Amino acid sequence: MAPTAPSATPAPIIRRLPPDLVAKIAAGEVVERPASVVKELVENAIDAGASAVRVEVQRGGLSLIRISDNGCGIASDQIELALLRHATSKLQAFDDLFRVRTLGFRGEALASIAAVSHLELVSRPATQASGRAVRVEGGEVVSVAPAGCPVGTAVAVRHLFFNVPARQAFQRSPAGESRQIVQLCQQLALTAPHVRLLLEVDGRLALQAPGNGDLRDALAAAYDAPVAGHMLALPELEEDGVRVWGYCSGPEEHRNTRLYCTFSVNGRLVRSQMLSYAVEEAYHALLPGGRHPLAAVHLTVPTDDLDVNVHPTKIEVRFRRDRLVFSVVRRAMRQALSNFAPVPALQPFAIGGPPGGGQDPGPGNGGAQRGSEGHFGNPTPAGEGEAALPLSSPASGPAAGGAGMEGAWPLVPGDGAGALAAGLLSLASAAAGGDLAAGASGGAPGQRPPSGGLRALGQVGLTYIVAEDASGLYLIDQHSAHERVVYEQLLRAGDGSGTAGEGGEGRESGPPAGTQGVAQLLLTPEAVTLNGTQAAWLLEHADTLAGFGFQLEAFGGHTWLLRAVPRTLAAKGRAQAIGELIDGLIEHEYGAGPLDDQARWAIACHSAVRAGDRLAPPEMAALISQLERCDMRRTCPHGRPTMIHLSHAQLEREFGRR
Amino acid sequence: MRMSCAQEQLSRGLAIVSRAVGGRTTLPVLNNVLLASDGERLKLSATNLEIGITTWVAARVEAEGQLTIPARLMADFVNSLPSGQSVLLDANTRTHTLHLQCARYNANIKGIDAEEFPPIPSADDRPTIKLRAGLLKEMIGQVAFSAARDESRPVLAGVNLRLDETKLVLSAADGFRLAKREAALEQGWPEKLDIIIPARALTEVARVLEDGDEDVEVTVTPNRSQVLFRLRAPTGEINLVSRLLEGQFPDLERVIPKTHTTRVGLKRAEFITATRIAALFARDAANVVRLDITPGGEGGLTPGSVALSANALEVGDNRGEIDAAVEGDETYISFSSEYLSDVLGVLNTEEIVVEMTGPLSPAVVRGMGLSEYTHVIMPMHTVR
């Protein structure tokens, strides 16, 4: 027997891929699904300077996607060039990549789409009497012919992925793809409010953005008019070339998905975890768990600060100074929220029209304007008392156009009521002690006292405080409200010790120095026996708790000696809450923020009065006055409302008085 | 039941028992006061199941019987009647209606059968200890406020009462402060007694006690579940029954510091004023009031001083200085302003003594010359 060869398998042969396969692979990067086709083509249209774009899709875009615009068009002699890969009018040299102002620039989209579909391109520039039509099937030009057509470009994409069965298999149902396209077009409409965007899905109108440049109108088109009407304008902030503007929802409006947050950077629709996180941070402690706000955030950054060439679809971007962008976005939202956080109205009546919602100025300066209108209460018509902002916003700092005023005062019809409210205010603050009312009462005429005039009337079911002010009746959840008060006290105390401004940004009035946690020592150390999980957690995080005033000493096994507790807990005599508190922290009952912040909530929660605690009138007055001094007084740290409002107008309607 | 009594006495008796009327609606009879003939007296009782109060009013009894009547309405009605008149009470036990007549005012009040009223134990002939009413009132006032206000550790919501052959000791602690008051007894207790009385009940006892020399008799039921205070005042007899708290009261003796490194004597009035002012600022700063203690100089020629200060970041700050006799080291300590003003409020000596051992150790507050009273406050401190 002759010895066998060491290996029977021949070495694989390396071959160059045929061009059509290369094209299909490349197409796969850009054209993932019908929605990507829509995105690329609509962005092309916007780049072409179109003021109106019409999108038609059938069977989720798998049968037909047609996009027509009134943009600059493509000259007839260049139309075939436009279909070649890496052919573009938008970029000339490598350095241009870092100065990209157009949405597209790679010259890939049209070629990629053409490679995987039957595509028809018809275009006529305004300078030409007639246009030209090109038909491409799977990347092969089938025909080129002159065509009569309006100025602009129309692209019809049929039989998408006809030659890529694998891709076809991964598409969702037509309905699912349609939904994606609708969502995308909503976001594009918010990104480009100056473009009249029309979307027809299977012959039905799905979106009609007016294209008048007003972002609020675009929001109304994308979502619905009442929602858009209630959205809050972000104060227009600019720092180091990073400018932000847009709208976000108040804490009462939320969705169970992040898809309602649209970010546009230099006019480009982007997805960014960093930006999403900035938003979540801003709403931190305002929304119930798992809920997300609505927002349309526009950012302008210097072009050389932005890298859009991260991915062929260009939906992911990188910022050179991402921390700066993060903080500007978060601050803008935080300010918008602290300026305007309406009290949820008692059903069945929805809140009336938003203050100043109708005559909102252009998106550029909408922020400051809107914030101040509701806030300083001067020129707003009396009829809007219903949606008034009865509470102050003492610590809003540079908010509301930087006017630095003391904050809101109820928009009351007529001065008599205002005077009455002022009187009640002094009563309430006298009872509660220590308010700033006195200073303001001697102010200039027309200048309202800085604090609200809520007056406690009594307690319902040992759980809710009934209060009134000039704008109507309020029901206040005593636990939620107190939780909010203690939480902010702890936050303020923490700020002072210079914890690098985390969680305290946007609060320029923060104290210069102060206490972190105040520990009240226990008469006798208390043995706290924890279970294994609790003990393991404590070993790891004892320092965090110590920062708030818990003094715990390991005593062997799972037993710890508690020697001191945070002052707020001592005041309630709840030194024993430690086990429950740790459990809550382990279970993430107190949000998903930094541990410091979770601990702050936890302590606030355990320190607060509970439902069922009887409150004497001075206690109620004190609680209300403390609540009025909070930045985010409308919700407890868990995001539940602290109060609901029943306006005089609602009362009158309910009783049939008008 | 048919009897008559003087309007003033009936009105006063109703006011006393009304303190125990329960506000709960689950058991309607607890909103009522029990009226019963008891020899030549009218017995009035009310209870909220935590405490029960019984008092007696002299009456001319024509027919015996008993009935319960809504306490609030009855008290308000009798209170409004002209004084100096006699009130006729005539109960129809079949319809449970009480007819009242005074001068030319007549009323019928619907009540509830007395059978539904929970029984309130009486002292009978069990052994009792006799105390002076004024003393007991003072002792309760000095101790009960230190009991815990929440129920997370039930025994701490009570006041520990200990009796032996020579003395009576009341003590209470809420985990952050303790108060202990002793009193020597002429006539002791045959056996050692160690019970825990809810602070709320004791506060009610102090309220009905008068600052006199009358005797209060204290009795514990044989199963040690209830305590009974019997006050024989010239205006009438009052019985107050409270349930007792079960459990072991913590040993507070070992918490009381036996030594100190700094001892300060201050005028109580000045101390109260300085505390009150500091508290104005402290209430926005975690209630922290800081005491800076400076010994006097030149062998006692210049007096020492205590500076009380509070600093609220968003409100402002203050500092007040008072003269003090300081023995020992210079030091500082921070207290809750509430704890400080609470104890200063119950001491009636002209001078106050504070003993401490540095900023992180318990401080003892006493009245100068009042060795029977000890108050310990745990300090606060700021963590970084």
How many Å from the N-terminal Cα to the C-terminal Cα in chain B?
A: 72
| pLDDT tens, residue by residue, A36-56 | 889 989 988 888 888 999 999
Chain B residues inside the 8 Å CB shell of A568: 286
- Do residues A107 and A86 lie in contact, with contact meaning Cβ atoms separated by under 8 Å? yes
The answer to whether B383 contacts A522, with C-beta atoms less than 8 Å apart, is no
CATH 3.60.10.10 given to domain B129-252? no
Asked if A607 is an interface residue toward chain B (Cβ–Cβ < 8 A), one would say: no
Give the nearest partner residue to B176 out of A433, A496, A522, using CB atoms: A522
Q: How far is CA B293 from CA A375, B159, B289, B307, B335, in A?
A: 49, 33, 13, 7, 13
Higher pLDDT, B37 or A615: B37
| pLDDT tens, residue by residue, B286-340 | 788 999 999 987 666 778 999 999 988 778 889 999 999 999 989 999 999 999 9
Do strands B129-132 and B158-163 pair parallel, antiparallel, or not at all (unpaired)?
unpaired
Chain A residues inside the 8 Å CB shell of B286: 489, 493, 515, 518, 567-568
Query: What CATH number was assigned to the domain covering residues B257-377?
Result: 3.10.150.10
| pLDDT tens, residue by residue, A456-474 | 888 888 889 999 888 888 8
**Ranges A196-200, A439-443, B296-300, most confident:** A196-200
pLDDT at position A391 over 50? no
For residue A604, the model assigns a pLDDT of 87
The answer to whether B286 contacts A524, with C-beta atoms less than 8 Å apart, is no
Looking at the DSSP bridge assignments, the partners of residue B24 are none
Asked if A302 is an interface residue toward chain B (Cβ–Cβ < 8 A), one would say: no
Determine the average pLDDT of the residues in A258-274.
87
Chain B residues inside the 8 Å CB shell of A548: 383
Q: Tell me the whole-structure pTM to 2 decimals.
A: 0.57
How many Å from the N-terminal Cα to the C-terminal Cα in chain A?
A: 111
Task: Return d(Cα A319, Cα A305) in angstroms, integer.
Answer: 6
Give the nearest partner residue to A520 out of B148, B380, B384, using CB atoms: B380
Peptide bond just before A512 cis, omega within 30 deg: no
Task: Return d(Cα B184, Cα A103) in angstroms, integer.
Answer: 93
How much is the ipTM here? 0.78
Determine the average pLDDT of the residues in B135-149.
92
Chain A residues inside the 8 Å CB shell of B176: 520-523, 570, 573
The class of domain B2-116 in CATH terms is: alpha beta
Find where tokens 């300078």 sit.
A127
The class of domain A19-208 in CATH terms is: alpha beta
Determine the average pLDDT of the residues in A601-618.
84
pLDDT at position A130 over 70? yes
Higher pLDDT, A532 or A547: A547
Q: Please calculate the CA angle A244-A245-A247 and round it to the nearest 5 degrees.
A: 135
For residue A100, the model assigns a pLDDT of 62
Tokens at A46, concatenated: 């916007």
pLDDT at position A585 over 60? yes
Give the nearest partner residue to B255 out of A523, A549, A572, using CB atoms: A523
Task: Return d(Cα B311, Cα B283) in angstroms, integer.
Answer: 10
Q: What are phi and psi of A534, to 5 degrees?
A: -60, -45
Determine the average pLDDT of the residues in B259-268.
94
**Ranges A215-224, A320-329, B342-351, most confident:** B342-351
pLDDT at position A4 over 70? no
- Mutation pick from A515, A523, A562, A609 vs chain B, by most beta carbons of B within 10 Å, is A523
For residue A491, the model assigns a pLDDT of 81
Domain spans in chain A, listed from the N-terminal domain onward: 19-208, 223-340, 481-496+515-613
Tell me the fold of A481-496+515-613.
Ribosomal Protein S8; Chain: A, domain 1 (3.30.1370)
Provide the number of CB pairs (under 8 Å) joining chain A to chain B: 98
For residue A380, the model assigns a pLDDT of 36
Task: Return d(Cα A360, Cα A342) in angstroms, integer.
Answer: 18
The answer to whether B314 contacts A575, with C-beta atoms less than 8 Å apart, is no
- Span(s) in chain B for CATH 3.10.150.10: 2-116, 129-252, 257-377
A residues 427..486 contacting B (CB < 8 A) = 433-434
- Do residues A236 and A223 lie in contact, with contact meaning Cβ atoms separated by under 8 Å? no
| pLDDT tens, residue by residue, A312-342 | 667 788 888 888 888 889 888 888 887 765 5
Task: Return d(Cα B66, Cα A152) in angstroms, integer.
Answer: 101
Determine the average pLDDT of the residues in B237-247.
90
Closest-CA distance of chain B to residue A403, Å: 21
Chain A residues inside the 8 Å CB shell of B336: 520, 567, 570-571
- Mutation pick from B277, B314, B376, B377 vs chain A, by most beta carbons of A within 10 Å, is B314
pLDDT at position B11 over 90? yes
Torsion of CA B278, B280, B286, B287, to 10 degrees: 50
Determine the average pLDDT of the residues in A397-408.
35
- Do residues A279 and A331 lie in contact, with contact meaning Cβ atoms separated by under 8 Å? no
User: What 3-state class would DSSP assign to A66?
Assistant: strand
Task: Look over chain A and give the mean of its residue pLDDT values, rounded to a whole number.
Answer: 73
Query: What CATH number was assigned to the domain covering residues A223-340?
Result: 3.30.230.10
CB within 8 Å of A536: residues ≥ 6 apart: none
Give the nearest partner residue to A434 out of B148, B283, B383, using CB atoms: B283
- Do residues B55 and B239 lie in contact, with contact meaning Cβ atoms separated by under 8 Å? yes
Task: Return d(Cα A587, Cα B330) in angstroms, integer.
Answer: 47
Q: What is the DSSP string of A291-315?
A: -B--EEEEEE--GGGEE-TTSTT--
| pLDDT tens, residue by residue, B161-175 | 998 888 899 999 988
